[in-house]
Amino acid sequence: MTSLLSRSTTVLKATIAGLLSLMALSLPTFAAERVIIASTGGAYDKALRAAWFDPFTKATGIEVVTVAATNAEMRAKAAAMVKTGNVSWDLYLDGEIQAASKAHREVTEDLTEFCRQFAGREDLSANACSAGGALLQSTATLLAYRIGEAGEPVPETWADMWDTEKFPGERAFPNFDDPWRVMAAALLADGVKRDELFPLDIDRALAKLEQIRPSVSLWWKTGDQSVQGFRNREYSLGQIWLTRAKAMHNEGLPIAWSYNASFLVGDRIALLKGAPHRENALKLMAFWLNSPQAQAKACEVLSCTPPSSEAIAMMSDEARKTMPQGDDVRDYVIIPDAEWINANAAMMLQRWNEWIR
């Protein structure tokens, strides 16, 4: 009797297991809603997640997955994915200058139609949404330095960056396949007037860079690397992004910066051709442009200029003064010649790589 009951129980369990397996096969599979965006990581991502990604997920239920990469890696990966038709990202952050290039247009969707919904928004800047992407923020590449003892002179210009006697210590510059800003700084340090900066004199720039090369301890490739280098005291003066400098200031690190040595730059949110979660990606971009609160929260931390004037109004007086388009700094920030940079990008990179290696 016990044996018969045991066999019956076994058969029943097997039958139930089989039915459950069949039910599982017949039920539709619901994958979690998500959108995948690539950016440069570190403190930048942390600020964007708190201000933008997490509120978006809370409002929509769509998970925002981030992938960290350098700007050069993002562009190369985006081009490779679109070329092979194996696209795993939806969005990536590209520079304001690069977003106007032919190479950018070849791998990203034209957002002209998407942008029409924002045409009547008086609070948004004229360039808040364009064919190349939605404007994330405007910021600056500038001279940042470690604060010394009270009364010590502080560097203010690119010429000061080159003055290793007056301002001793190691230097840091970016090296991420976009060398125009380093060359431009070298020319300004060599006495070129700001209104005569473009077209860049590459030979003169590299000759000036040769003078400071022995003092450069860090050629950083990511914003996070520039942060870690400063934390680890690898350099005293560096050309870095304002967003990273402000994040370090917020941490309490002894860092300051000069708008007398700065270039206006920015990021656009670009949609890859063949994006696997295209509709979710469009929703994420629209959420950013439609949310002055998110823009204000991010730029409060990063000292960036958001695309919405309503967002600017929500920011603190201190943050508004330090953002690169504030009344106190706009006369100093240099606006680069995007058309010339894009037309000469390959030539500049070749000359740079020949020099840097």
Residue 8 has pLDDT above 70, yes or no: no
Residue 12 inside a domain? The answer is: no
**C-alpha to C-alpha distance for 43 and 233, rounded to whole angstroms:** 18
Decide if 172 is inside a domain.
yes
Shared domain check, 66 and 147: no
> Any bridge partners for residue 289, and if so which?
none
User: Going by C-beta distance under 8 Å and a sequence separation of 6 or more, which residues neighbour residue 254?
Assistant: 146, 147
Mark whether 149 and 254 lie in a shared domain. Answer: yes
Please check whether residue 2 lies inside any domain of the structure. no
Residue 279 included in any domain: yes
193 and 260 inside one domain? yes
- Reply yes or no on whether the pLDDT at 148 is more than 90: no
Average pLDDT over residues 66-75: 92
Q: What is the mean predicted confidence (pLDDT) over 28-38?
A: 73
Q: Rounded to 5, what percent of the chain is helix, strand, coil? A: 50, 20, 30
Range of the domain at 248: 139-265+336-356
Note whether 228 and 312 are same-domain residues.
no
- Same structural domain for residues 126 and 274? yes
Q: Which candidate, 37, 25, 92, places its Cα nearest to that of 62?
A: 37
- One domain, residues 146 and 216: yes
Residue with token string 């740079």: 352
Q: State how far the Cα of 153 lies from the Cα of 169, in Å rounded to an integer.
A: 14
Residue found under tokens 């720039």: 205
Q: Region 189-196: what's the mean pLDDT?
A: 97
Residue 199 CA to residue 339 CA, distance in Å, equals: 10
User: For 293-349, what is each residue's pLDDT tens digit?
Assistant: 999 999 999 999 999 999 999 999 989 988 887 666 667 899 999 999 999 999 999
Give the pLDDT confidence of 219-229 residue by residue, as tens digits.
999 899 999 99
Pairing of strands 129-130, 34-39: unpaired
- Predicted local distance difference test score (pLDDT) of residue 27: 34
Average pLDDT value for residue range 151-180: 95
d(CA 24, CA 238): 58
Q: Specify which of 140-149, 243-252, 281-290, 329-338 reaches the highest per-range mean pLDDT.
A: 281-290
SS (H, E, C) 98-152: HHHCHHHHHHECCCHHHHHHHCCCCCECCCCEECCEEEEEEEEEEEEEECCCCCC
Residue 277 CB burial class (10 angstroms; 0-12, 13-18, ≥19): buried
pLDDT of 92? 98
Q: Are residues 237 and 160 in the same domain?
A: yes
Whole-number Å distance between alpha carbons of 218 and 209 = 14
CA-closest candidate to residue 202, choices 215, 192, 213, 217: 192
- Is residue 233 domain-shared with residue 313, that is, in the same domain? no
Tokens 């971009």, residue?
A: 285
- Separation CA 136–CA 91 (nearest Å): 12
Q: How far apart are the first and last CA of the chain?
A: 85
Of 261, 296, 41, nearest in space to 141 by CA: 261
Is residue 285 scored above 90 in pLDDT? yes
110 vs 71: which has the higher pLDDT: 110
CATH number of residue 314's parent domain: 3.40.190.10
Which of these ranges, 88-97, 145-154, 302-311, has the smallest mean pLDDT?
A: 145-154
Residues near 232 by beta carbon (within 8 Å), at least 6 away in sequence: none
* pLDDT value, residue 6: 46
Q: Is the model more confident about 134 or about 18? A: 134
Q: Where are the beta strands (DSSP E) in the chain?
A: 34-39, 63-68, 91-95, 129-130, 133-146, 171-174, 216-220, 237-241, 255-271
Q: State what percent of residues in the chain have pLDDT above 90.
A: 81
Quickly state the pLDDT bin for 43 (edges 50, 70, 90): confident
Asked if residue 5 belongs to a domain, the reply is no
- Number of structural domains in the chain: 2
Average model confidence (pLDDT) across the chain: 90
Regarding whether 275 and 184 lie in a shared domain, the answer is no
CA distance 320 to 303: 8
Residues 181 and 238 both lie in one domain: yes
CB of 174 closer than 8 Å to CB of 221: yes
What is the CA angle 78-79-85, rounded to 5?
A: 85
Q: What global pTM score does this model have? A: 0.84
Residues 345 and 215 in one domain: yes
- Amino acid type, 118: F
Rounded Cα distance, 278 and 272, in Å = 8
Does 171 fall in a domain? yes
Residue 75 lies in a domain: yes
Mean pLDDT of 139-144: 96
Dist CA 22 CA 262 (whole Å): 64
Percent of all residues in the chain with a pLDDT value above 70, rounded to a whole number: 89
Residue type, 23: M
Q: Are residues 171 and 183 in the same domain?
A: yes
Does any domain span residue 8? Answer: no
Q: 112 pLDDT band (50/70/90 cuts)?
A: very high
